């Protein structure tokens, strides 16, 4: 299920984005990018609609996925 990011409590959304950008396997290349910058980039992508927040009721967890990938799943 795709959850509109605007319906998520701002503190919860920030926590979700922070967890997303700090996951193992997240690679930003050779450049060091601050956590605040990474969070701002993902928030901008949410606002643009290129990524969406999804909720998996089976796993009872949220994730951030590219819109195309989420559309194929839900």
Q: Go through the domains of the chain in sequence order and give each one's CATH number.
A: 2-23+35-73 (1.10.10.610)
Query: 15-30: per-residue pLDDT in tens?
Result: 999 999 988 766 666 6
Of 59, 70, 58, which is closest to residue 3 (Cα–Cα)? Answer: 70
Q: Which residues are bridge partners to 51 per DSSP?
A: 66
Q: How much is the pLDDT for 7? A: 97
Span 47-64, mean pLDDT?
96
Q: Three-class SS of residue 61? A: strand
pLDDT in tens, 34-53: 889 999 999 999 999 999 99
pTM (two decimals) = 0.86
* Rounded Cα–Cα distance for residues 52 and 55 (Å): 10
Among residues 22, 46, 51, 26, which one has the least CA distance to residue 36?
22
User: Coil, strand, or helix at residue 5?
Assistant: helix
Residues contacting residue 20 through CB under 8 Å, at least 6 positions apart: 26, 42, 63, 64
């Amino acid at each position: 299920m795709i959850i509109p990011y605007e319906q998520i409590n701002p503190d919860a959304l920030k926590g979700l984005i922070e967890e997303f950008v700090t996951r193992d396997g997240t690679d930003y290349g050779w450049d060091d990018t601050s956590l605040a910058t990474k969070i701002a980039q993902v928030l901008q992508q949410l606002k643009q609609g290129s990524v969406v927040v999804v909720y998996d009721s089976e796993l009872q967890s949220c994730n951030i996925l590219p819109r195309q990938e989420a559309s194929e799943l839900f």
